[in-house]
């Protein structure tokens, strides 16, 4: 038991890799390859699961229940982690239509197929019901239905998750970079980065969603207020993309060899490069951008792009 959890709970320290250097200004961008932490569990989702799964195990809870959409990196990571640790997992998935013909859904959706193959029980619910998932009534209903379980919120963010994301930055990162960049959905990863970064480091959070509501979410988990939040104003909102983004990502993969995904890290790097181009940073600024993983979602994303006849990400086979 102990040795099994050691496998999961001691991720190797990710490497930092040069993404780009700008010859005229001397600015460099390195990427922290958290996507390489574990072959089955995408970077920041493993960080967020670490202390939650430990907590469940310490209390002898054998089942984990959590929530996500049909392409959720968190669902994929939870299913894999529970499989490795010998825990049962239940995934409450948004979209009851996906459960009508499970075999068809699993055939068409790599994320859900992988989760299913790891032994996760998939429970498909309507969007209305999904919206109520954090209410006491909803929790009670799932407890009646499934018995005892450890509940992890959508996206995996809670206090214990922040404890995990605070372990992303190393002493080396605190000493060698002026700016730290991270992409955000719920903001749990960003909060951990903010808590652990040096006071002299500038932190830029690239939201995957429009608007600035995320500021309050992040502020729930940190007392620091000196971070910059960049709203997703380039591409029209969460999971929206454009040919420009996809072409940018294909080019940057050719140049750097580092695969990005289109919802978080691709947009972050695009936005960051735009900032460099308009002179947002002094010369010789050393920037570290955190690669939060999520590459498992590319197959599903590409499927939709190809269906629409749009340019798609051409490095899927190389990662």
Binding residues vs ligand PLP (CB under 6 A): 42, 44-45, 73, 155, 157, 183-190, 261, 264-265, 292-294
Of 221 and 281, which CB lies nearer to ligand PLP in the complex structure?
A: 221
Nearer of residues 122 and 289 to ligand PLP, judged by Cβ: 289
As measured in angstroms, the least distance from the Cβ of 24 to ligand PLP is 30
Query: Nearest CA to 31 among 44, 46, 15?
Result: 15
Minimum distance from CB of 157 to ligand PLP (Å)? 5
- For 151, other C-beta atoms within 10 Å of its C-beta total 19
For the bound state, the minimum distance from the C-beta of residue 140 to ligand PLP, rounded and expressed in Å, comes to 26
Q: How far is the CB of 265 from ligand PLP (least distance, A)?
A: 6
Instruction: Using the minimum distance from each CB to ligand PLP, give the nearer residue, 164 or 201.
Output: 164
**Beta carbon of residue 309, minimum distance to ligand PLP (angstroms, whole number):** 26
- Kindly state the smallest distance separating residue 296's Cβ from ligand PLP, in Å: 9
Smallest separation (angstroms) from ligand PLP to the CB of 292: 3
Name residues whose C-beta falls within 8 Å of residue 89's C-beta, 6 or more positions apart in sequence.
63, 64, 65, 66, 78, 79, 82, 83, 115, 118, 119, 120, 121
Nearest residue to ligand PLP, by Cβ distance, number only: 294
Name the region of 311 (left: φ>0; alpha: ψ -120 to 50; beta: rest).
beta
For residues 216 and 285, give the distance between their C-alpha atoms in angstroms, rounded to a whole number.
29
Tell the smallest beta-carbon distance from residue 3 to ligand PLP (Å).
Answer: 28
């Amino acid at each position: 038991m102990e040795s099994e959890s050691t496998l999961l709970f001691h991720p190797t320290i990710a490497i930092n890799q040069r993404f780009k250097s700008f010859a005229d200004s001397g600015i460099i961008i390195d990427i922290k390859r958290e996507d390489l932490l574990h072959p089955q569990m995408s970077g920041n989702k493993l960080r967020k699961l670490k202390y939650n799964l430990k907590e469940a195990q310490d209390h002898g809870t054998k089942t984990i229940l959590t929530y996500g959409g049909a392409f959720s990196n968190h669902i994929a990571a939870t299913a894999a982690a529970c499989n490795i640790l010998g825990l049962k997992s239940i995934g409450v998935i948004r979209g009851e239509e996906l459960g009508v013909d499970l075999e068809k859904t699993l055939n068409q959706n790599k994320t859900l197929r992988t989760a299913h193959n790891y032994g996760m029980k998939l429970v498909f619910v309507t969007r209305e019901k999904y919206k109520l998932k954090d209410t006491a009534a909803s929790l009670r209903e799932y407890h009646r239905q499934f018995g005892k379980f450890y509940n992890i919120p959508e996206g995996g963010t809670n206090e214990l998750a922040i404890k995990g994301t605070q372990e992303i930055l190393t002493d080396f990162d605190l000493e060698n970079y002026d700016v730290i960049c991270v992409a955000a959905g719920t903001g749990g990863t960003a909060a951990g980065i903010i808590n652990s970064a040096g006071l002299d480091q500038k932190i830029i959070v690239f939201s995957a969603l429009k608007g600035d509501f995320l500021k309050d979410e992040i502020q729930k988990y940190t007392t620091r207020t000196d971070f910059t939040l960049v709203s997703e104003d380039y591409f029209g909102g969460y999971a929206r993309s454009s040919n420009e983004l996809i072409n940018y990502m294909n080019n940057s993969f050719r140049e750097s060899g580092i695969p990005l995904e289109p919802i978080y890290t691709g947009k972050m790097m695009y936005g960051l490069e735009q900032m460099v181009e308009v002179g947002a940073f002094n010369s010789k600024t050393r920037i570290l951008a955190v690669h939060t993983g999520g590459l498992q979602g590319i197959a599903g994303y590409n499927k939709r792009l190809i269906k629409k006849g749009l340019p798609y990400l051409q490095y899927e086979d190389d990662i």
